[in-house]
Structure 1
Amino acid sequence: MTRQIIATDKAPAAIGPYSQAVRAGNTVYFSGQIPLDPATGTMVEGDIAMQARRVFENLKAVAEAAGGSLDKIVRVGIYVTNLGHFATVNEVMAEYFHAPYPARSTIEVSALPKCSDVEVDAVMVLD
């Protein structure tokens, strides 16, 4: 099986030794996205809703670079530093995903890169 590295300048460049996403066969594995502005490389300022929107915009850009869309995502992993943000992140996710929704986990963590309050990774299957 060959691996194809997915990269786009419409999402933030990796801040470590990893790729934005990797395609193996018809499956694309996304690295976690935090609310970095791809144009400036700086964190989006604002509340959890603004951060979550930037994260989902970044995921959307990587999905499109891989030849897919958010509708092709089958699994989402959400990491938040405060489960009190759960409802807001749900509301923002509903702006980007429509039924049938992907499988999902939401996990509270003690910290995220660059002091982000939210990070999201995903798995997408292409036809």
Structure 2
Amino acid sequence: MKSEVINTNNAPIPTGPYVQAINTQNMIFISGQLPIYPNTNIIPNNIYDQTYQALQNILNIIDTINLKIENIIKTTLFLINIDDLPDVNNSYKKFFYTHSVGKKMHLPARSCVEVSRLPKNANIEIEAIAIKPTN
């Protein structure tokens, strides 16, 4: 199977020995994205904005290969505090509504787990899988 690394300056530089994403023939595997603003390297203060920024980083990665939000088929959310889920859900829903074509909201399958810590003391990290459209 042929695969290629995806890198963009519009998403945070990986904090360890991994790549932003791998593009295979049909699927794109996006590494966990912290809620870092790539132009400033700053993490927002609240979970709502952190969720939105982590998703924006994912969208920026898949945009480099001309994919859209509708191509995301699965996300996994890692939260420091599961009690933040209502704010996470509100931000998540707003993000997918805002970026969906024709305002018909596209939502992927999703898992969400609580973890004890995340890099850079972030409150959330999101990974995703996207699929290329078939012609």
Q: TM-score range by the shorter chain?
A: over 0.9
Partner of 2:77: 78
What displacement does 1:36 show? Answer: 1.1
TM-score by length of structure 1 reads 0.93
For 1:82 and 1:116, how far apart are their aligned partners in 2? 11
Amino acid at match of 2:30: F
What displacement does 1:41 show? Answer: 2.2
For 2:23 and 2:53, how far apart are their aligned partners in 1? 23
Amino acid at match of 1:73: I
Partner of 2:2: 2
Per the alignment, in what secondary structure is the counterpart of residue 97 of structure 1? helix
Report matched runs for 1:41-120 at 5 Å.
Answer: 41-42=41-42, 44-98=43-97, 99-120=105-126
TM-score by length of structure 2 reads 0.88
What is the aligned-residue identity percentage?
Answer: 29
| Consecutive unaligned residues in structure 2, runs of 5 or more | 98-104
Counterpart contact for 2:78–2:125, Cα < 8 Å: yes
What displacement does 1:19 show? Answer: 0.7
Give structure 1 regions of 4+ aligned residues with deviation exceeding 3 angstroms. Answer: none
| Consecutive unaligned residues in structure 1, runs of 5 or more | none
Amino acid at match of 1:119: E
Amino acid at match of 2:70: D
Per the alignment, in what secondary structure is the counterpart of residue 9 of structure 2? coil
How many residues were matched structurally? 126
CA RMSD of aligned residues (A): 1.2
What displacement does 1:37 show? Answer: 1.4
Counterpart contact for 2:36–2:44, Cα < 8 Å: no
